[in-house]
A and B are shown apart, each in its own frame.
Chain A
Amino acid sequence: MHRHDDRRRPTRLRGMNAQLAHLRVRGNEAIGPYSLLHVERGQLDPGVPGQFFMLRTEPLLLPRPMSLCMARAGELGFLIDPTGKGTEALARLDPGDRITVFGPLGHGFPLDATDPVIVGGGIGIAPLPYLSESLRGAPALLGFRSDAHAVAGALLPNAEIVIDPVRVTEPLAEHLVSRPEATPLACGPEPMLAAVGRLASHAWLAHEAPMACGYGACFGCAVRIDGELKRLCVEGPTVLAGRLYVPDHDSSPLPSAVGVPA
């Protein structure tokens, strides 16, 4: 006499639509050096662009947080950069393999942002195809470290692409001169996010941190937000730039130099 009901009961989180599901992999597609992992969607809600899912597969003890890259019908797509044990295990999955998916988690990008401009760097473009689709044609600026990596830029068909040594903040700075009200919605490496934050404190930045759980349990993903160490999975992963990069009052003469009252 087995009581399977409890085991199948969906786990939902407060104020969110997160559910735990055991799903099948549909395949891994090479996108330059990255891998686009296609997973059947089951009953999962794809959530808002910028939200993430915890993905777990054998032999990993802990799941890995991955933002949703694509939300095709009946499917979830995750862009993986296979650089460590967890990401390599995910990029190796074959069609039919089992994967445990928990999400959507965290807070996504604000889709009502004023005059949005999408900004991405390297594997940080992961949440941006879904974001671009949701924003229907918002301008996008992407930076990559090589031509090989830039192949992934094709995931955002209308994007302007720059390759190292050109930084993505260069076209962004020009964009902000012509459209000062524009709101950057960005994801990329930490130095890129900091640079975007310096250009626009009203930008929304999708940050990353090591996470064991993704739902506020482990306190592992602490990031300095509002000057305090806070859980990125609870506060973010998309955070207003001004909350992440507090102006350095000791070293910057800038406010008075540009005529802003002290």
Chain B
Amino acid sequence: MTRILNASGCLDALAAPEVADGLDVFVTKTVTPLPRTGNDPIRIAESDVGMLNSIGLANPGIERFVAEYLPELAERIPSLWVSVGGFSAEDFALCCAALDGYACVDAIELNVSCPNVTAPADEASAIVAAARGVTSKPLYAKLSPALPDIASVAQAAEQAGARGLSLTNTLRGLILDPATLEPILATATGGLSGPALRPVALAAVYACAQATSLPIVGMGGVETGEHALALIAAGASDVALGTVLFGDPAAPHRIRTELEEAAQRRGVASAAGVFRMALGDELSASEVSSKPGIRGDLLPELTKVAVGS
């Protein structure tokens, strides 16, 4: 079954556990080695095609996160991923090492792509390798859609030990106040999310699904089951919700139902039945079963699609 996650930084499961209950996996806001107060307000702005945010990785720091937040998350969240960030490979490794001993952490997402802080100096693969050295937990590399060649970065991340990809993060954008023609955000630019990101995310998933065998969490502008289905067809195994959660806290339940309906309209029993359809390849059962993250319960659907086509 396709899992529905939240995009990191788009939900606080402790402030709104009822919303988190609708998800299969909860992903935390990015945690860095040291506490960060985040950027000065104004931090958000809306345009016709999406929203900008410039939160600046506000977080309590890994030490307080582990001591004060993780125990409560462990109690409430059945499946928990922790997003970690930093400014060097060492920062990422420090956070991963601090999380390694906690059984409640099912996976670690490496946020190597936040547009609102100075970009990590190290290459994504160096960060993955450093993290791989200190933890045995599955590592998901969250890549930026602004990378000139996201597929080659995905391949490098895979070789460095990533177990999956989160695709994709926001794109840098700017919105001006129409009255003053000055930037609305205190940091001027911010990360663009929402509908505008939808085709960008689809392209990133499509490229990486051809370049690597890693399972992909697709995200970017998903507002309906049809949008989620498109990401799965482009090669995503799972789907994450971001901006849609702000306006519709019932989105996890709604989109799950819509996703099933969208699949059924296409004559497949579940959304997994359209997996990789956009790529035009016909995966054999053996190829699929050898892919990490693809579970056996998907196989009947895939076989059915192959038979039907």
Q: Name A's B-contacting residues (CB within 8 A).
A: 2-4, 6-7, 9, 11-14, 20, 54, 56, 59-63, 85-86, 100, 102, 209-213, 215-223, 228-229, 234
Contacts and interface: CB of A to CB of B under 8 A. Distances in A.
B19 A219 contact: no
B159 interface: no
A219 B253 contact: no
Contact of B9 (A60, A61, A219, A222): A219
B15 A234 contact: yes
Range, interface on chain B: 35 or more
Nearest to A229: B37
B43 A217 contact: no
B248 A215 contact: no
A15 to B, nearest CB: 10
B42 interface: yes
A217 B37 contact: no
Given A61-B247, A229-B38, A217 B257 contact: no
Which of B10, B29, B246, B253 has the most chain A CB atoms inside 10 A of its CB?
Answer: B246
Interface of B: 9-12, 14-19, 29, 37-38, 40-46, 48, 50-51, 53, 55, 58, 194-195, 243, 245-250, 253-254, 256-257, 260-261
A220 B246 CA distance: 11
B16 to A, nearest CB: 5
Given A6-B256, A222-B58, A215 B250 contact: no
Contact of A210 (B9, B37, B45, B249): B45
Contacts of B249: 11, 13, 20, 102, 213, 215, 217
Contacts of B17: 14
Contacts of B243: 61-62, 212
Contacts of A61: 46, 50-51, 194-195, 243, 247
B18 A12 contact: yes
